[in-house]
Structure formats: structure tokens, C-alpha cells
Chain A
Amino acid sequence: MTANSTPFADAETASDASREKDGVSSLSLASISIGEEAVVAELALEPELAAWLRAVGIGEGDNVSVLRSGAFGGPLHVRNAVGGEFALNRQLAKSILVKRV
């Protein structure tokens, strides 16, 4: 869908293997299970979006967990370490690379 061509193509095109090689986690926020805690390793996003996420407490080094995920591939309900809760688009969550705690 052209309308949804993403501003975070970076994370999707880079293969997991190449990222693994660079020592960066290939695990994304979209792939951790509900209730599991993780720490953000990298925001593979365009700078403005990444800056916004850092500003709201979902930046590198911040602890996050997924509370629930919307039906039919809907958004993720994410909580950060300081109690902020956000609805995040699932595609976006795929570009938020995390490490398990």
C-alpha cells in the first residue's frame, strides 16, 4: 500500500543477520511477548520520530513492556519504566529494537 510506505524502511530492509553481525539486537518491540520486560537498544527510525519517542520515554536504554496488542494487527499498548503508556503502531514497534532484560 503506497499510502503506508513507511518512514522506517531502514529497519525492515536491513536483514536480521546483518544486524546480528553488528552486535545489535534483532529483537523488536513487536516480537516480545505480552507482559515481558525489555530495554530499548536502538530506534531504527527517522530522526524526528526517534526524538519524539525519546522525549516520551521510549529511547535507547529505557525499559519498556507490552501490555496488550490490538486485534487484527492493531497497535501495541506499551508502558515505559516511568509509568507512561502509549499506543504504538505495530510497524513502528518493529523498528524499535530491544533486548530482553
Chain B
Amino acid sequence: MHERAAQSVSVHTNAAPALVLLAGRPNSGKSSLFNLITGGDAHVGNFPGITVDVLEARVALPGGRAADVADLPGFYSIDAIVDAKTDEGVARSFVEQAENGTRAWLVVQVIDSTQLSLGLRLTRELAARGVPLLVVLTQKDVLASEGRDIDTAAIEREIGAPVILVSSRDPSAKRVVQSAIESLLAVDPKSSQKQVKSREDWKPDALAKEALIDRAQKNSAEARRRTRTARLDAWLLHPAVGPISFLGLMSLVFAAVFLISDPVTNAIDTVNDFIRVHLSHVLGGGLFASFVCNGLFGGAGTVLAFLPQIVILTVAMELLEASGYLARGAFLVDRLLRLLGLSGRSFLPLLMGHACAIPAIASTRVIRDPRERLTTILVLPLMTCSARVPTYALVISAFFSTHSALFKSAIFVSLYFIGILSGLIASLVLRKTAVGGRALPLVLEMPSYRTPQLKAVARKAWQSAWRFLRDVGTTILIVAAILWVVLTVPYPGAQDPAAPPIERSIAAHVGHAIEPITKPAGFDWRINVGLIGAFGARELMVGTMGVIFGLEHKSDDPAPLAQRLREAKRADGSPAYSTASGLALLAFFVLACQCMSTVAAIKRETHSWRWPAFVLAYTYTLAYVAALIVFQSSRFLGFS
């Protein structure tokens, strides 16, 4: 307890940093306040027992004391919690850990002062729990512009904790909040619990009414804000216009993702290839050079190629979320998702899954119902993530080269819808079987529309980019290294030393060995090697096929590879692949969870190996069966 006993400033500087937990409802302005008091210099904190990314920043308080400020996930209630793994559960376990720990700590509850009475409900729960509490009311500037103010002393009297009113846009507020934090930390928590005695019977609504000083016309500003939201909702939630504008907006998001990220990805590819080529010159030939250039740099290039899409989609999601539209989207699709055992809350993760399943799996924490959350996690790998795109492009250009561009795009679009459809069917089946049971109904706040704060959006984008690099980067690098070994190291006792190295490799041996099983689905040993390459990360398929067909350094351009695939012959001289094999390969790629990063993310979120193993088993089984059916039936129909 020596950290807490510190009384004077000089001792404070030596004490362990205090823990400041920033708490509040979603959309309460917590992120803006966090940026303000930490100067935006945050990193993802490492908290024992907490698997969720929580932003944290160390702050030197004005009196010299250090504090770690943690930005907790938004929550409405600390008492009413269904699942410990959701945002609300995570926030509570933070408070519980702080309660049981030895560090000095403090909860700073952020309340949007334009919604005072809603925020005070959480205050009542926190006060009743007896946590050391500071209440920060934000949006002082908005209130002031509306001729309103808040009697903070009146609130302090009732809740028994200090209350300050600030504007997160006002730089001087930083010191005000920091000083308030510091002086509260200086109070011995034991004595403070005695001093801070709240009247237990206070009512949030009545208190909010009492504390709000309205100098202007009563409620006129609030009425204006409400009118604006109501007017927008009249259109955006209109039975006919609503769904149309929803589809339009979603198409816009995806168009933006592809239009903006494509040139960026190409630029990253060019730089990566440039480094690779030069590095291989510097390192000379040999196994080590091949490992570094093809294995490691190849893997890194794959990771970086997807980064722009992840960042752009995250920005788009954050803009939709911060503007208040995302809740409207959830409202509109709730009925449809309910047919499949999900709810509107699954909408955000399912949408994100179209860029990458990893952040999407993390975003399922907004789903309060544990069963619905698990179902969403299990079907997310079926959504058409951006990593599938290069393989689709390769297969389509190789097997449908004679068809029109329109036909090819139609195949592309239908692959997206097949992904969505199979995900929805899978969730329906899962809800009736493996994840059956009662469903928590949708309860979702519909916040007022507001202009997003760009700083907070940028911070979220940075956070997701970092998480993607950390999680996916490590996995893909490991996978790429292993892949290099199985593609390069000869299988012990390989017969023909004159054959190209790839044909003597471990992968080729396995590819040949499983050919009897995969042949009925239209896959020969070379495609099998590609699928082995794609097991860890599906985007490695194109590169692996490039290696098999002797095109190591041109893996990013599918055209030469597509031509090789078309020209490939069997031993008897007949073409190795037909349109039927192309269709079967597409069917396989739509369904198989060829992504170890996703498997790792599922393990992290479900805290067991059971569900990631389940996902691998069910998606690969589906993929094989689908490829088999597609191959056999399209041959029957005469595609050759």
C-alpha cells in the first residue's frame, strides 16, 4: 500500500503511476476527452487478464504525479451484464481489477452534458459501487452556444463526487481535468470513502432537470437538435427510401475501399518488389537469400497489400458510427438478420468482414448476446474478405478469358453474394444446432446525428492498422516462412534430382499424395500445392502457384500465370484445367477458412481451441463438398 500512502507531491513523483479509467456510455465524448488529456499519444495497453485492446497513455499530471489513463470500451450499465467478453463485461472487469489491486486508481466518468440525465444513470451505479469517482461533463461549448449551463455544485451535492464541466475542444480544459484527477488521487481512498457519502435516493432525471440552467428559451436548442435528427430519420428510416439509401451508402463505402486502396496497394507492392530485387542482389543467391526475399519479404508484402483496405474501411465504419448512421443501418437490417438467428447488432461485424475477418471478429464485442456473438464469429470467415480478391481475379482471368468483361464482373459480384448467402445459411443452421438456445433481443441506442470528430476517427484507424499489422503480420510471416520451407526443401528420398526444386519439395509430395481425394473436385497436384500454400493465408495461393509454374518474381501480376494455367497440360497432353476446375476452385475459395490469422483471432475471442477447430473443419468440409458438386455437375452440363 506504499503507493497509496503517498501524501506530498515529492513522494508522489516516486510513487507508482496511478490508474485512471475513463468510463462512459458509447457516444459520450470519451474518445475526445482521452485525446485531450493524453495529448493523443496513446498505445494499446497491456493489461493482465484483459484480451481486449484498450488504449492507454501515460500522463504527467501538473503536480508531478504520473498516471496511466485507460480508455475503457463504452457501456451503459456496470450492473446489467450478460457476458464478460462483451464491451460492458470488459469495462466491469477493469473496475474489478482496480478494486482488488494495490495501485491508486480513479474512475473518470465522461458524460455528454447535452444528455445529462442519461449519463447520470451510470453515475448512480458507479457511486453506489463506491468507486473513487470524478465526473467530467463535456460539450460545455455546445451548452454555452445554446445559452445553457450546468450547476455542477448541485450534482456534486447529490452524487457525492466532484463534477467538472469542460469542452474537449478547449485546450485549457486539459489542465483542469488533469488537476482534478491529481487532487482526487491525493486523497486517501479509505478516508475518501467516508467523506464521499452520496445520498442514495437521488434520481438521475430529477437531478438533471434541477442542475440544468437554461438562460435561453427552454429546450429550444435541444429541440432543434432533435428536429434535425427526426428530419433525417424520416428519410433514412423511411420504409422505402431508407433501404434504398442504405444500399447506396454501402455500395459507396465498398467502391471507396476499392477505388482508393488499389493505387496505394500497387505503390506498396512496387516498393516491396524493389527492395526484394535489390536485397537478393546484395545477399547473392543461395538458400538464405531465397528465404529472406521470397519467404519473409514475400509474406510482408502480402500483409502490407491489405493494409490500405483495412484502414479505409475502418475510417468508413468509424464515420458511419460517429455520425450515428450505423445504428440506423442496424435498425434497417435487424428484421432480415433475425430470420437467421442474428440481430441488427451483428450488422457491423458482418460488414467489416468484407474487408478482413480479423478486425470484424474483434468488433463482435458490440454484440451483447453471447450466442449471437459466437454465431457471428463462426460465420465471419465466409464473408468475402479482400484477401480472396487476388485469387478470384487469377481464377477468373485464367478460366474465363474468352468471356466478356461483363460476364467476368458478374461472376465476381455473384461470388460476393454467394459468400453472404452461405454465411447467412450457416448462421441459421448454427443457431438451430451448435449455438442453439435463447436469443437476446435487440436493444440498441439510436444516437442523434452529429458531425464526426476527425481526430477520433483517425485514432481508431491507426489502432486498427496497428492491430492488423501485429496480429496478421506475425501470423503471415510465420506462415510464409513455413511455406518457403515446404516449397523449397526437397522431400527426403525424392527420386528425380533433375526435376525443378518445386517438384521435389515436401509440398509437391503431399500434393501428389492427396490427388486421389481432390481429383473428383477437379484439383490436380499443382492446385493442391497452391491450396497447401493458401492454408495459412489464402492470399499466398497466387504466389505459390507462381512458384509452381516457375514465375517466382512476377507473382503480383496474374496475367502470365493465368496464361500458364490455361496452357498447362496433363501427362497425356490434354489440358490440365477446364472451366469446370475453375468453377470448382472458386467454390472452394468462397467457403474454406484459409486464414490462420482468423483462426488465431477466433481462439483469442472464444478462449478455446474448440471453436477455431470447428471453423476449420466445417468450412473445409463445405468447401470440398461444394467443389466436388460444382466440378461434377458442370462437367455433366458440358463445361470443359
From residue B10, how far is it (CB to closest CB) to chain A in Å? 43
A12-33 near B? 1/0 per residue, CB < 8 Å? 0000000000000000000000
Interface of chain B residues 234 through 263 with chain A (CB within 8 A): 237, 239
B118 touching A82, Cβ below 8 Å: yes
Interface of chain B residues 123 through 141 with chain A (CB within 8 A): 125
On chain B, the residues within 8 Å of A89 by CB distance are 334, 338, 343, 441-443
Interface of chain B residues 99 through 137 with chain A (CB within 8 A): 115, 117-118, 121-122, 125
Binds A, one of B313-321, B324-332, B378-386, B580-588: B324-332
Q: Pick the residue among A52, A70, A75, A83 that contacts B115 (CB under 8 A).
A: A83
B326-360 near A? 1/0 per residue, CB < 8 Å? 01001110110010010110000000000000000
Q: Pick the residue among A48, A57, A73, A82 that contacts B335 (CB under 8 A).
A: A73
- Does B445 lie at the interface of the complex (its beta carbon under 8 Å from any beta carbon of A)? yes
- The verdict on A74 contacting B334 (CB below 8 Å), with A55-B122, A56-B118 known, is yes
B431 touching A87, Cβ below 8 Å: no
Please, which residue of chain A has its CB at the minimum distance from the CB of B447? A85
Q: How far is the CA of A53 from the CA of B436 in the complex (A)?
A: 25
- Does A81 lie at the interface of the complex (its beta carbon under 8 Å from any beta carbon of B)? yes
- Does B446 lie at the interface of the complex (its beta carbon under 8 Å from any beta carbon of A)? yes
Q: How far is the CA of A57 from the CA of B115 in the complex (A)?
A: 12
Q: Chain B, interface size: which category?
A: 35 or more
Please, which residue of chain A has its CB at the minimum distance from the CB of B120? A82
Q: How far is the CA of A8 from the CA of B439 in the complex (A)?
A: 10
B441 touching A57, Cβ below 8 Å: no
On chain A, the residues within 8 Å of B508 by CB distance are none
On chain A, the residues within 8 Å of B80 by CB distance are 48-52, 54-55
On chain B, the residues within 8 Å of A8 by CB distance are 441
From residue B71, how far is it (CB to closest CB) to chain A in Å? 21
Number of A-B contacts (CB under 8 A): 133
From residue A63, how far is it (CB to closest CB) to chain B in Å? 10
B441 touching A92, Cβ below 8 Å: yes
Q: How far is the CA of A62 from the CA of B485 in the complex (A)?
A: 66
- The verdict on A84 contacting B118 (CB below 8 Å), with A56-B445, A92-B441 known, is yes
A49 touching B440, Cβ below 8 Å: yes
- Does A101 lie at the interface of the complex (its beta carbon under 8 Å from any beta carbon of B)? no
On chain A, the residues within 8 Å of B338 by CB distance are 4, 89
Q: Pick the residue among B331, B436, B440 that contacts A75 (CB under 8 A).
A: B331
Please, which residue of chain A has its CB at the minimum distance from the CB of B327? A87
Q: How far is the CA of A84 from the CA of B237 in the complex (A)?
A: 17
Q: How far is the CA of A48 from the CA of B330 in the complex (A)?
A: 22
- Does B577 lie at the interface of the complex (its beta carbon under 8 Å from any beta carbon of A)? no
B76 touching A52, Cβ below 8 Å: yes
From residue A55, how far is it (CB to closest CB) to chain B in Å? 4
B432 touching A3, Cβ below 8 Å: yes
List 28 A-B residue pairs with CB atoms under 8 Å apart, sorted by A's residue number: A2-B431, A2-B432, A3-B341, A3-B439, A5-B438, A6-B438, A6-B439, A7-B440, A48-B80, A49-B441, A49-B443, A51-B77, A55-B79, A55-B121, A56-B445, A67-B233, A72-B335, A74-B331, A74-B332, A77-B237, A83-B222, A85-B229, A85-B448, A86-B443, A86-B445, A87-B331, A89-B334, A89-B442
Give 5 closest A-B pairs by Cβ, nearest first. Answer: A89-B441, A51-B80, A55-B77, A3-B431, A74-B335
